[in-house]
Amino acid sequence: MIRLAILASGGGSNADAILRYFSGHPQIQIVLIACNREAAIVYQVAEYHCVESIQLSRERFQAGDGYLPVFQDKQVSGLILAGFLWKIPSVLIEAFPDRILNIHPALLPKFGGQGMYGLRVHEAVLAAHETESGITIHRVDEHYDNGDVVFQAHCPVNPHDTPNSLAQRVLQLEHQHYPPTIENYFTQQTNSELTLN
């Protein structure tokens, strides 16, 4: 069984989509949700799906052990970022090489980097008069929105779009594509390791 943890910061709609997709899955199980905000709705999502959740402290996560002992205790084999806004510390990147995925609400390498999240991304897309936007699912490394691209999906930017209307269209892509991309990525990794062994 591939055991994954979700790192989230807010409403938890992507976490909910992922948990629904993997409910009863024969190979992949979501065993933990970790959040960096005290009052985030994602805790309710975790409770609804009967998945354990924890709150992260910035000091321990970024300057301490990165909660690695917690992930190890849960036998986590990979991390999924779902609207998680903190930079991932090197201790976790080293512990989970090529096993941390993130989703970004734009077509990287455009409109990425520190501070580019939420409506800020869609405002930047509209300000640049782009004709399309979309999502990028990528591996996580030491830099914001920098790791190798695993998957992208596109959607049009309409002439009368607002940041909110574009955000809704992009969010639909996230819910549609993130769970199956996670599934394909981690099952292929596992099958490759079994072949090598």
**% of residues, the chain, pLDDT over 70:** 97
The answer to whether residues 96 and 189 touch, using CB atoms and an 8 Å cutoff, is no
Confidence bin at 157 (pLDDT 50/70/90): very high
Confidence (pLDDT) at 177: 98
Give the contacts of 118 (CB within 8 A, at least 6 positions apart).
105, 167
As a whole number of angstroms, the distance between CA 158 and CA 84 comes to 28
The whole-chain average pLDDT of the chain stands at 95
Q: 101-141 pLDDT, tens per residue?
A: 999 999 999 999 999 999 999 999 999 999 999 999 999 99
Q: 77-106 pLDDT, tens per residue?
A: 999 999 999 999 999 999 999 999 999 999
- List the CATH code of the domain at 2-192: 3.40.50.170
3-state secondary structure of 163: helix
Confidence bin at 197 (pLDDT 50/70/90): very low
Confidence (pLDDT) at 96: 97
Beta strand pairing status for 53-55 and 132-139? Answer: unpaired
As a whole number of angstroms, the distance between CA 35 and CA 164 comes to 24
Q: Where are the domains of the chain?
A: 2-192
What the block records as the tokens of 94 is 């080293």
> What is the reported pTM?
0.94
> DSSP string of 38-105?
TT-THHHHHHHTT--EEEPPHIIIIIS-TTHHHHHHTT--EEEEES--SPPPHHHHHHSTT-EEEEES
Burial class (CB in 10 A: 0-12, 13-18, 19+), 110: middle
Positions marked active-site? 104
As a whole number of angstroms, the distance between CA 185 and CA 187 comes to 6
